[in-house]
Amino acid sequence: MQEIKANLYPCRHCNESGTCTSGKDGSSCQACVKQHELKGKQPHFGLACGTCNGIGQAEPTTERMNKRIKPMLALGIVFLVLIFTFSLAVTKNQYFTEFLAFAGTLMGSVTAFYFSHAKNT
């Protein structure tokens, strides 16, 4: 299993407590109420902070996105190439053999890069 490193910073929304008290009279704010999908106008108390998910430490959104973009892009490319390969095979396209050579090389490169890169860092 690869080790994922996270840069966590103290959550200023809940003052590192994990419980939102940013609303009126120490109640949870509307953003955290909406995060928990609660309805009603009455104040809610003791909700987990929606910014840090209740752990008191927050990870910046850009870091989360950067960690997810590479695997999702790799999966997207591989599945898209598989779909194209299957559709060309079903329609008996005359360029199927050329595309198959390209697809095998591309999927092998993506897979090799993704799995070998995790061991080098």
What percentage of the chain carries pLDDT values higher than 70?
92
Give ∠ CA 11-28-40 in degrees, rounded to 5: 145
Q: How many domains does the chain contain in total?
A: 2
Record the pTM.
0.53
What pLDDT, in 10s, does the model give residues 44-93?
Answer: 888 888 888 888 888 777 777 877 888 888 889 899 999 999 999 999 99
Residue 74 lies in a domain: yes
Residue 15 lies in a domain: yes
Residue 116 lies in a domain: yes
Rounded Cα–Cα distance for residues 61 and 78 (Å) = 26
- Judge if 72 and 50 occupy the same domain: no
Q: Which helix (H) or strand (E) holds 58?
A: strand 57-58
Q: Give the confidence band of 19 by pLDDT, cuts at 50, 70, 90.
A: confident
Residue 82, domain extent: 65-120
Provide the pLDDT for residue 4: 63
